[in-house]
Structure 1
Amino acid sequence: MPITNSRVIPLTCSGHTRPVVDLQFSSMDSEGNYLLISACKDGNPMLRDGKTGDWIGTFLGHKGAVWSARLNQKADRAVTGSADFSARIWDTFTGDELFKFDHQHIVRACDFSQDGSRVLTGGQEKKLRVFDLNQPESAPLEATGHEGAIKSVAWDDDRQTIFSAGDDKTIRVWDVRSMEQVQQLDHGASVTSMVQSADGHYLTSTAGAEAFFWDTRAGYALAKQHTLEHNASSISLHPNQTKFIAGSDTDLWVRIYDFTSGEELEVYKGHHGPIWTVSYSPDGELYATGSEDGTIRLWKTNPTKPYGLWQSCPE
């Protein structure tokens, strides 16, 4: 039976006024610290201390819902994609907008290349674009092929590929050098989320109640597929690859599953609306959830271990 522990109290991060739809932790710095960025339909992406949830700043400028927010490896730049038909690049230290890239429709997804020099976007246009931040005035590289809106994008520098996922029930793999499609990963339903694992060894995705784990080292072969109890809006694989968390757009509970067997291990309730986005911290000590209720909640992975603001252990 899964563990339901009512004594597990998450940290609640307030500030957003509408549903939180995307979360990402930065990499850890030399002192073990990291940041958390959030995208929200209120149009105000926010940056926080990853361990405590403390608010650092809000990036002001978008005129519509922000669907996607990502940090580069150094965490000194952020990219956001919005319903105002733009993707914007921000300085995370000053909050200043550095670049604005206009599109012809809603931008649903964005991501940095590993070196932070390029940005990938996708959205309602069903088109991928790659912008060069060293030459921001130059025309972006483009690729088409999706038959539905693109909801998620990701970048794999190690294999010189980029990924796009969306409403046409597919993930498409592209060679970033030629912008040609080289592979297609079929899902059977609209792909609701897609991210890479912390070490890049897996591409994780969700469609309906299915959780998929594609092995990037084996030609994107399907390594695991688990059928969950509820529709999966988002999943995140723990850095040690023993378990994963899942949020659902039809359920209020946070669920932890065994990676190997798919067995449900833990269940927690804290949100008052469906959970749209989940993510493990880079050290795996906590995870974040973003909800329709407009809040972000931080949950400690090991309830009995002091960490961050949870300095005391439960009795």
Structure 2
Amino acid sequence: MPSQQRTHQVSFNLCLPVVHLNFSELQDDGTYLLISSCKDGNPMLRDWTGDWIGTFIGHKGAVWSAKLSRDTSRAATGSADFTAKVWDTYSGELLHSFPHNHIVRTVAISRTCSHILTGGQEKKIRLFDLARPDADPQFLGEGSSTSHEGTVKSVLWVGESGSVSAAEDGLIKWWDLRTRQPTSTIKFGSAITSLEICPQKSTLTVTSGKTVSFLPSVPGSGPTHSLTLSYAPSSASLHPTLGDRFVAGNLGDQWVRVHGMDGTERDVLKGHHGPVHCVEFSPDGEMYASGSEDGTIRLWQTTPGKSYGLWQGHTNGN
């Protein structure tokens, strides 16, 4: 049975379903940021204590993806309004807006903030140069009509000249951004529902059907590991420092689950009132976030009762 309301969770209410979350990398002072994507079209930025910093205003449709740069100075967003946008996280200013011909489902920003990648329902992956925002984008898989044969659900940066993408065609593709051609491909039996990278472990976490797979971020550089769960996870996130557990969401119920790496269910967390679209661990592993159809973001402590971040000023969930 699911756990009862816990003292190690705090929630934030948004207007419409929360479909994507992204923590920044850990900064030199031990802090980080969290950005959320919501169907209300207003991505929000929060600090590591959960406090609201600001909302990026400018999209005219649901925001499906939002990512932060390595140094947290920039954010990239992709939307149902057929645009990807790049923002200054200090001022909230819109820096660039890039038009597309269909819904943008995923974005990624390079570690040096020099380029962004986008993908979506056009089945194409575009590479934009932020130093030349008015220039035409380059396309991954150049010479082909599409980059994938299904909607591109996720793009990630790997190093400065590589990327990896996942799509509803069940394919994970690694790309050399210098040649814009794929270097390796893995086929899954079902559509890919989420793809996340854990930089500390150099590991990709992939959900497809009822399977959660852990792959080296560079093909052939490490072992792969796959588990079959009793449900089809909407997304999953690996503990970034311990690597001994992962958290998963599910569109089939309202619970957040924590599993060991053998698939054992360690915890079932109750709090959402709608299906869970997305989950992600903070970069220090001290908490994880979940976003739901119920329009809330919930933050959960990895170690209940520990005085940490927003729990230094909160005594119970809300």
TM-score, normalised to structure 2's length? 0.93
- For residues 92 and 193 of structure 1, the distance between their equivalents in structure 2, rounded to whole angstroms, comes to 25
- Whether the 8 Å contact between 1:67 and 1:107 is mirrored in structure 2 is yes
Which residue matches 1:155? 157
Unpaired runs of 5+ residues, structure 2, are 141-145
Q: 1:79 pairs with 76, 79, 93, which one?
A: 76
Indicate the SS of the match to 2:90: coil
Which residue matches 1:45? 43
Which residue matches 1:286? 287
- The offset of 1:286, in angstroms, is 0.6
- The offset of 1:171, in angstroms, is 1.1
- For residues 133 and 100 of structure 1, the distance between their equivalents in structure 2, rounded to whole angstroms, comes to 10
**Pairing of 1:7-156 with structure 2 (within 5 A):** 7-14=6-13, 16-50=14-48, 52-143=49-140, 144-156=146-158
- Report the AA paired with residue 210 of structure 1: T
- Whether the 8 Å contact between 2:158 and 2:217 is mirrored in structure 1 is no
- The offset of 1:53, in angstroms, is 1.6
- The offset of 1:200, in angstroms, is 5.3
- Report the AA paired with residue 225 of structure 1: S
Which residue matches 2:143? none
Indicate the SS of the match to 1:309: helix
**More RCO (CA 8 Å, sep 6+):** 2
- Whether the 8 Å contact between 1:303 and 1:313 is mirrored in structure 2 is no
- Whether the 8 Å contact between 1:8 and 1:268 is mirrored in structure 2 is no
- Report the AA paired with residue 63 of structure 2: V
How many residues align structurally? 309
Overall identity of the aligned pairs, in %: 49
**Coordinate RMSD, CA, aligned:** 1.8
- For residues 120 and 183 of structure 1, the distance between their equivalents in structure 2, rounded to whole angstroms, comes to 18
1:246 aligns with 2:260: no
- For residues 59 and 98 of structure 1, the distance between their equivalents in structure 2, rounded to whole angstroms, comes to 11
Indicate the SS of the match to 1:100: strand
Which residue matches 2:297? 296
Deviations 1:144-164 (A, max 9, x none): 331111011111016x32111
Indicate the SS of the match to 2:196: strand
Which residue matches 2:212? 211
Deviations 1:187-237 (A, max 9, x none): 110100001113251111101111011123552776111111221101010
- The offset of 1:4, in angstroms, is 3.4
